[in-house]
A and B are shown apart, each in its own frame.
Chain A
Amino acid sequence: MSSTAGAAAAPAIEAHGLTKRFGDVLALDRLDLAVPAGSVFGFLGPNGAGKTTTLRILAGLGHASAGTAVVAGVGVGRGGTELAGRIGYLDQDPRFYGWMTGRELLAFVGRAYGLAGSALRSRVDEVLETVGLVEAAGRRIGGYSGGMRQRLGVGQALLPRPAVLFLDEPVSALDPEGRRDVLELVGSLGGEATVFMSTHILTDVERICDRVAILDHGRLVTEAPIGELLARHARPILEIDPEPGQADAVARLAAALRATTWTREVREEHGVLRVVVTDAEQAAAEGLLVVVAAGVRLARFERVRPTLEDVFLQLVGTEAPGPEVGA
């Protein structure tokens, strides 16, 4: 078993020029990354950006076409078991042996890391408690739901107390309660282990990660602490919440807003117009006038703090969660 104690100031994960080609497809393009030890690191990107490819290379499952990486002080791709002995890994769609029980699987993992006897039993009990599977521990995994499998996946990754924990979409199959519990658990690991987590759910990243990297088409777009990223990239946002039943007027308003010189983008999210502005002063001065001119009755007009999602959409420019109004 590895311990993170004394992990010094050296990055827990370092990648230099990491490149991966699948035939003609460049899945990962000269990725340089340094993840500080003890951080909870969010690895973001749209579908096909190269997140899973990166995780698999760093976990020793895939081979880089070029470049080098070091995880927990171990060179990736050297073979042997040293790397695996220092990491925990959770796949995007975790699958285990359906004939084993949850307890048996965790015991199997513990034995692989050299645990035995009462130390193994108590660690398995502890992990079952942590991931909320005590009652299902004696049941065959083949009968587990997707959420239970994901909890078990988190458990098996945590069990050896790894120095670095790789989590690929760790809460994608969980219900809201399970998601909250697992996120709290992952967030609490900061300082104890280095967590490298890929996800699509940006609010989750905002909730528990202290640093993020955004990947797009295999290239690193940016990497920074979340606060710094928001300060550096986020543009002011106006939220305009019209009274219901004014579809035509709201469409007119969206068109009018788009025609102004201070508007960069207008999106509708659940009936609320979200306006990304380029000039906050001008928007404050003229925004309400545009609303009045469009004849829209307002429930709320507010300047809001930009979120990580706003930064993500700005940098990656894809997968807007809401449709463009009047586009």
Chain B
Amino acid sequence: MTGFGLLLRKEIREQVRTARLPVVVVVFAVFGLISPVFARYVREIVEALGGGQFQGMIPEPTVADAVAQFTKNMGQFGVLIAILVTMGSVATEKERGTAAFLLTKPITRGAFVGAKVLAIGSLLAIATAVAGTLCWIYTAILFEPLPAAHFAAAVALVWLSLAVVAALTFLASVTTRSALVAGGVAFGAFLVAGILSALPAIGAYMPTSLWGAADQLALGTVPDPLLGPIVANVLFVAAAIGLAWWSFRRQEI
């Protein structure tokens, strides 16, 4: 892993200088903040817009709605952002020739892959943590305080689901030369995972099923199964990164 530290510093500086880090954190923060707000006021908004037509039709919002809104937003916009920030990570470097510039220096391909994986994973972790913190605070203000440890565990599950999406996108980015193709492949894989999550035997182990588990955890209930899906998704991430590294080692740049 010669050059890992150098490349990791470069990746982090790149995220800051190209404004990727602040933009992703702000976007996640907005979704973390508006989730409980939207859950709390959706009834008033709909009733106001409907001119009294929907009076009494929408039930009183609860803290469960705030949590569900948060995981739903993360499952949609979070996934989209995870794909967007990852799809060009290697494909664009190969396409533009900067990968060739780097790999003719005393830097191993393992370091190249490892630095990118850690940088993307950290970016998503920071952004998810900020979003989760804001969601927790506003849920406490607008509804009631949620058990902090359980909520933190739920946010970690959301991050794991995004990490699976990012790892699949990373694999696609390594194996193709176009960021758009990588994004398309990753999105397709994500849709397939969504379809598979409806199957009774394996559904609970898909990354999309982690959001339901996160809902329960955030509300203080330990879902069943929990450990199996966590292990399965950690293995998805490890397998995708391992395959990406294996493929990248053999590639012509």
Task: Tell me the A residues contacting B by CB distance below 8 Å.
Answer: 56, 59-63, 79-81, 84-85, 87-89, 91, 93-97, 99, 108-109, 111-114, 156
Contacts and interface: CB of A to CB of B under 8 A. Distances in A.
A101 B76 CA distance: 37
B162 to A, nearest CB: 25
Contact of A112 (B3, B17, B18): B3
- Sorted nearest first, the 10 A-B pairs with minimum C-beta distance are A89-B104, A81-B106, A95-B97, A112-B105, A85-B106, A99-B17, A61-B253, A62-B252, A84-B106, A95-B96
Given A61-B253, A63-B252, A108-B6, A94 B97 contact: yes
A81 B107 CA distance: 6
A114 B106 CA distance: 9
Given A61-B252, A95-B97, A99-B14, A111 B6 contact: yes
A277 B6 CA distance: 60
Interface in B77-106: 96-98, 100-101, 103-106
A89 B6 CA distance: 19
Contact of B104 (A61, A97, A108): A61
A109 B97 CA distance: 16
Interface in B226-253: 249-250, 252-253
A322 to B, nearest CB: 33
Contact of A84 (B97, B104, B252): B104
A94 B105 contact: no
Contact of B103 (A84, A88, A96): A84
B97 to A, nearest CB: 4
Contacts of A62: 252-253
A287 to B, nearest CB: 51
Contacts of B221: none
A219 B14 CA distance: 43
A89 B14 CA distance: 23
A84 B100 contact: no
B101 A95 contact: yes
Given A96-B98, A111-B6, A87 B104 contact: yes
B115 to A, nearest CB: 12
A59 to B, nearest CB: 5
Contact of B105 (A63, A84, A93, A95): A84
A93 B100 CA distance: 11
Nearest to B108: A81
A112 B98 contact: no
Contact of B6 (A87, A91, A112): A112
A80 B10 CA distance: 21
B62 interface: no
B107 A112 contact: yes
Contacts of B249: 79
17 contacts: A56-B100, A56-B252, A59-B104, A61-B103, A61-B104, A63-B250, A63-B252, A81-B2, A81-B3, A81-B107, A81-B108, A84-B103, A91-B97, A91-B100, A111-B6, A112-B107, A113-B105
Nearest to A153: B101
Contacts of A79: 249
Given A91-B100, A93-B97, A109 B18 contact: no
Given A61-B252, A97-B98, A113 B17 contact: no
A156 B96 CA distance: 17
Contacts of A97: 10, 14, 98
A87 B103 CA distance: 11
